[in-house]
């Protein structure tokens, strides 16, 4: 009898941990997607590519993310999570291989960044939906409804934080700075890939009976939900908008003020995303039962962080920048969790991945900020441009504050 009880307890522990296999895969893909960030400083210092070309690599990545999000989400709703999530780490590893080979070849680097984006898009929408569905009493008795959003956002943020931190340290002090970080990611992807096969499929019905066309799936009916349009949409671009102001724009402004510029860029990424990771652990408690508190708090912290970025642009100092990065990281973490939790609440079971993909695609529009600011820097100063961004964030706060109370 004691033996049988032990087996039952072991089975329960196994059930509670099935989401970890998916989370580790998402973590690995996110690692590869963001390890490029601190190396932006390295590529600028090498002088092989123009600043605009380097920032355009963020746009290539964002385009890849959009393709992965908007294509893989509906496909996984239709054919199952494993079939769409399994290739993601392999595509991420291939992207790293292209980037490592393209340190002096722009075409290879652009292909690599696009592939990295596609893999991240797949991981975010398919992996995030899979983690959400595994946070279900069928797999984990007594699990809270918001636990799926917390685990999904933390898996992404953990990879987004550690990837650039490790890559920056390696590029600053180890040989082959343009290749070694990417080789590490390739090894990590291949080692952890088999784990995804241990996670149970949560869309079995999709394999048995598929109705309608793929193009009908892409429409995602719940995207017309008023709360999604008027609360989630205004908040979403500031998720990565805040993050990339922190670890793509501020290190560029300060690179001549620090001795180890690549390592400092990695530190900023780690502080930013580490702050976001930390606050996401308390997301369910912050949100509570209120449908207004979370979105308003996320946008309020965003406004504060953007105002802080204006201060740093006007009074550049490495330590001040780190303080502002904490605030922008909190804005990222709150925006990611609150937006994802709202999205998962709004979505129906048949378009969960599709609507999640649309939410993430909207968050990644914030990645365009660095390229836009670099292009406009010929006409405006950074304090002016970041100040304008702060005003737009205030307007989004007002919209979210009004609509979240009514919808």
For residue 214, the model assigns a pLDDT of 55
Query: What's this model's pTM, rounded to 2 decimal places?
Result: 0.80
Look at residue 371 and tell me whether its pLDDT is greater than 80. no
- Report pLDDT digits (tens) over 134-181: 887 887 877 777 788 888 888 988 998 899 999 999 999 999 999 999
Average pLDDT over residues 195-199: 90
What six digits make up the tokens of 117? 């984006």
For residue 10, the model assigns a pLDDT of 40
Return the minimum-mean-pLDDT range out of 94-103, 131-140, 286-295, 330-339. 286-295
CA–CA separation, 29 vs 244, rounded Å?
18
Burial class (CB in 10 A: 0-12, 13-18, 19+), 130: buried
The alpha carbon of residue 226 and the mean position of all alpha carbons in its chain are separated, in whole angstroms, by 24
Using 50, 70 and 90 to split pLDDT, how confident is the model at 218?
Answer: low
CA–CA separation, 276 vs 160, rounded Å?
10
- Report pLDDT digits (tens) over 21-42: 999 999 999 999 989 888 888 8
CA–CA separation, 58 vs 51, rounded Å?
12
CATH number of 18-193+223-406: 1.20.1250.20
- Report pLDDT digits (tens) over 238-283: 998 999 899 878 888 887 888 888 888 889 988 998 899 889 888 7
What six digits make up the tokens of 324? 């502002």
Using 50, 70 and 90 to split pLDDT, how confident is the model at 16?
Answer: low
Look at residue 14 and tell me whether its pLDDT is greater than 50. no
Q: Which of 177-191, 193-207, 277-291 has the highest mean pLDDT?
A: 177-191
CA–CA separation, 341 vs 358, rounded Å?
14
Residue 311 or residue 347, greater confidence = 311
Classify 403 as helix, strand or coil.
helix
CA–CA separation, 199 vs 139, rounded Å?
11
Residue 9 or residue 322, greater confidence = 322
DSSP string, 245-306: IIIIIHHHHHTTS-SSHHHHHHHHHHHHHHHHHHHHTTHHHHHTT-SSHHHHHHHHHHHHHH
CA–CA separation, 252 vs 273, rounded Å?
18
Return the minimum-mean-pLDDT range out of 23-37, 47-61, 208-222, 376-390. 208-222
Residue 44 or residue 86, greater confidence = 86
- Report pLDDT digits (tens) over 66-94: 899 888 887 887 788 898 999 999 999 99
Is there a contact between 101 and 153 (Cβ–Cβ < 8 Å)?
A: no
- Report pLDDT digits (tens) over 313-359: 999 999 999 999 999 999 999 999 899 889 988 988 777 777 888 89
Residue 55 or residue 273, greater confidence = 273
Helix extents (H) in 123-211: 128-134, 147-173, 180-192, 204-208
What six digits make up the tokens of 253? 């402004």
For residue 56, the model assigns a pLDDT of 83
Name the packing angle between helices 369-376 and 51-79 (round to 10°).
160
What six digits make up the tokens of 45? 């210092």
Q: Parse the chain into domains and list their residue ranges.
A: 18-193+223-406
3-state secondary structure 141-164: CCCCCCHHHHHHHHHHHHHHHHHH
Q: What is the overall mean pLDDT for the chain? A: 85
For residue 297, the model assigns a pLDDT of 94
Average pLDDT over residues 354-375: 80
Classify 323 as helix, strand or coil.
helix
For residue 226, the model assigns a pLDDT of 92
């Amino acid at each position: 009898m004691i033996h049988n009880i032990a087996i039952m307890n072991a089975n329960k522990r196994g059930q509670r941990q099935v989401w970890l296999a998916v989370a580790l895969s998402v973590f690995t893909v996110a690692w590869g997607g963001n390890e490029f960030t601190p190396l932006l400083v390295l590529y600028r210092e090498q002088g092989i590519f123009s600043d605009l070309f380097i920032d355009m690599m963020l746009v290539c990545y964002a385009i890849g993310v959009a393709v992965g999000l908007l294509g893989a989400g509906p496909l996984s709703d239709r054919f199952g999570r494993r079939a769409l999530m399994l290739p993601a780490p392999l595509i991420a590893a291939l992207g790293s291989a292209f980037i490592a080979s393209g340190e002096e070849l722009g075409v290879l680097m652009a292909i690599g960044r696009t592939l990295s984006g596609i893999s991240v898009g797949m991981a975010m929408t398919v992996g995030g939906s899979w983690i959400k569905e595994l946070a279900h009493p069928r797999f984990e008795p007594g699990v809270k409804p918001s636990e799926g959003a917390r685990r999904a956002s933390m898996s992404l943020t953990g990879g987004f934080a550690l990837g650039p931190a490790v890559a920056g340290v390696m590029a600053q002090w180890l040989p082959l700075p343009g290749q070694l970080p990417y080789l590490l990611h390739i090894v990590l992807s291949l080692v952890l890939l088999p784990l995804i096969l241990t996670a149970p499929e949560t869309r079995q019905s999709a394999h048995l009976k598929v109705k309608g066309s793929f193009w009908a799936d892409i429409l995602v009916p719940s995207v017309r939900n008023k709360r999604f349009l008027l609360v989630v949409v205004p908040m979403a671009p500031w998720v990565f908008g805040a993050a990339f102001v922190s670890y793509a724009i501020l290190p560029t402004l300060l690179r001549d003020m620090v001795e180890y510029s690549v390592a400092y860029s990695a530190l900023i990424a780690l502080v930013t995303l580490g702050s976001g990771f930390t606050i996401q652990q308390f997301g369910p408690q912050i949100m509570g039962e209120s449908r207004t508190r979370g979105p308003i708090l996320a946008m309020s912290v965003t406004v504060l962080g953007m105002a802080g970025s204006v201060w740093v642009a006007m009074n550049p100092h490495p330590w001040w920048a780190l303080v502002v990065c904490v605030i922008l990281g909190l804005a990222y973490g709150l925006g990611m969790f609150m937006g994802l939790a709202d999205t998962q609440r709004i979505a129906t079971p048949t378009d969960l991945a599709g609507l999640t993909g649309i939410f993430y695609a909207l968050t990644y529009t914030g990645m365009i900020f660095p390229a836009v600011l670099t292009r406009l820097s010929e006409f405006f100063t950074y304090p002016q441009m970041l100040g304008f961004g702060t005003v737009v964030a205030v307007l989004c706060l007002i919209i979210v504050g009004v609509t979240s109370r009514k919808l």
